[in-house]
Amino acid sequence: MNPERRRLLIGATCATIASPAFAFAQEPFPSRPVTLWIPWPAGGGTDLAMRVLAEAAGHRLGQKVAIENRAGAGGTLAMPILQQAAPDGYTIAQMPQTVFRAPYTQRLLWDPIRDTTPILQLTGTTFGIVVPADSALRTVDDVFAAAREKTGQLTIATNGVGTTPHVVIDELMAQRGLKYIHVPYKGAAEQMLGVASGQVMVGVGSTSFGPFVDQGKLRLLATFGEHRSKRWPQVPTLKELGFGIVANSPYGLAGPRGLPPPIVTTLHDAFRAAMQDAAYVAELAKYDQEPAYLGPAEYAQACRDAYAHEKRVVERLGLGKAANGS
């Protein structure tokens, strides 16, 4: 072999081995299944809706989108996975609102802005207060009255420490000098079963409670949206009851930091199309949700805005690291 040709061939081979980016560029994406991490237990409203969405997106990607659950810590346990994952598009995760609050309330190694690449916003979760169907509590004021009568004995379940439902009920109780026993669950499915069975007296959580309400197992006392729910128009909002609170929790999908733009585009296009799938829209409707799409740039800005907003909320409520001793 010509010595010069041999030198060039060896150099090209070494460059290929030394450059993962070069090797990666030669491989069409996706060439194997994509793993989508859900930071909630299997069987909850978010999990079920995401499974329908993942199946529809997989058809468009030409590869399976496999769901993995990692529940606990208020929906933040997918963040370490994203932080450590290779930016190759094969590891993505749902980004709930709690990931923007947690860094202000506890010491963490990850950052929701620095360590992620936003792909798209999907929808938003709204919240409400529920009690067992046979409960004597029929209004939010009844809940406060029960807390006064049963000082330190009223049990209230949320879907985790530091979640939006926990922050809201804690603020409402603290404003009135009331105490309660907080019962955190890893996710909405277990939480609502606990409330419906009478293990706890009150539940504050996402509209995963929808099927339980519609089946007559739970009574919905109030919702947290700007306006009344179209699904339960007879139920008042906290705002109209005079409590001055509107709370919702938009969420979307993100990949690890440094996800290449072409891969972002491929994932975005597949999930954007899947959002319009009739089965996914119908699944969201079970929980009084609708698609709330934002593209990569708009979703990235929404994430930054959410991060700044949560800092103000944590400071206002005195929930910061210094306050809780972390």
Residue 22 pLDDT greater than 70, yes or no: no
> Is 14 inside any structural domain?
no
Query: What CATH number is associated with residue 134?
Result: 3.40.190.10
Give the CA distances from residue 27 to residues 24, 32, 85, in Å, rounded to whole numbers and listed in that order. Answer: 5, 10, 18
- Got the DSSP string for 189-218? HHHHHHHHTTSSSEEEEEGGGHHHHHTTSE
What pLDDT band is residue 13 in, cutting at 50, 70 and 90?
Answer: very low
Backbone angles phi, psi at 202, to 5 degrees: -140, 145
The answer to the question of residue 23 being in a domain is no
CATH number where 256 lies: 3.40.190.150
> Which residues, including other chains, have CB under 8 Å from residue 67's CB and lie 6 or more apart?
36, 38, 47, 50, 51, 54
99 and 48, same domain (yes or no): yes
Number of structural domains the chain divides into: 2
Please report whether residue 19 resides in a domain: no
Maximum pairwise Cα distance, the chain: 94
Residues 83, 137 share a domain = no
Identify which of 228, 230, 231 has the alpha carbon closest to the alpha carbon of residue 239.
228
pLDDT given for residue 149 in this prediction? 95
pTM, two decimal places = 0.79
For residues 60 and 203, membership in a common domain is answered with no
- Which has the minimum average pLDDT: 32-41, 187-196, 256-265? 187-196
Q: What share of the chain is helix, strand, coil (3-state, %, to 5)?
A: 45, 20, 35
How far does Cα 278 stand from its chain's mean position?
22
**Lowest pLDDT segment from 36-40, 95-99, 153-157, 284-288:** 284-288
Last residue of a domain, one of 208, 223, 238: 223
Residue 120 sits in the same domain as residue 180 = no
Mean pLDDT of 67-84: 95
Same domain, 260 and 179: no
pLDDT at residue 20, as a whole number: 46
The verdict on residue 232 lying in a domain is no
Peptide bond into 30 cis (omega under 30): yes
Using a pLDDT cut of 70, give the percent of the chain over it. 90
Of 174, 206, 223, at which residue does a domain stop?
223
Name residue 31's amino acid.
S
Band (pLDDT 50/70/90 cuts) for residue 118 is very high
**Which two tokens mark 173?**
């109780």
Q: How confident is the model at residue 323 (pLDDT cuts 50, 70, 90)?
A: very low
Whether residue 160 has pLDDT greater than 80: yes
Using CA atoms, how far residue 261 sits from 178, 258, 266, in Å, is 50, 9, 9
Percent of the chain, pLDDT > 90? 71
Q: Are residues 66 and 199 in the same domain?
A: no
Q: Do 279 and 193 share a structural domain? A: no
Structure tokens at 51: 């499974």
Q: Are 32 and 76 in contact (CB under 8 A)?
A: no
Q: 105 in a domain, yes or no? A: yes
Assess whether 130 and 107 both reside in one domain: no
Q: Is residue 242 part of a domain?
A: no
Q: For residue 121, is it within any domain?
A: yes
DSSP assignment letter at 33: P
Task: Note whether 47 and 189 are same-domain residues.
Answer: no
Q: Rounded to an integer, what distance in angstroms lies between the CA atom of residue 55 and that of residue 62?
A: 11
Beta-strand relationship, 34-38 and 218-223: unpaired
Task: Transcribe 259-282 into DSSP letters.
Answer: --HHHHHHHHHHHHHHTT-HHHHH
* Terminal Cα distance for the chain, rounded: 66
The pLDDT assigned to 9 comes to 44
pLDDT averaged over every residue in the chain:
89
Q: What is the mean pLDDT of residues 97-115?
A: 94
In a domain, 63, yes or no: yes
Tokens matching residue 168: 């809201």
- Provide the 8-state DSSP code for 62: T
Task: Mark whether 144 and 283 lie in a shared domain.
Answer: no
Do 64 and 40 belong to one domain? Answer: yes
User: Residue 212: which domain range?
Assistant: 126-223
Query: Do 140 and 209 have their domain in common?
Result: yes
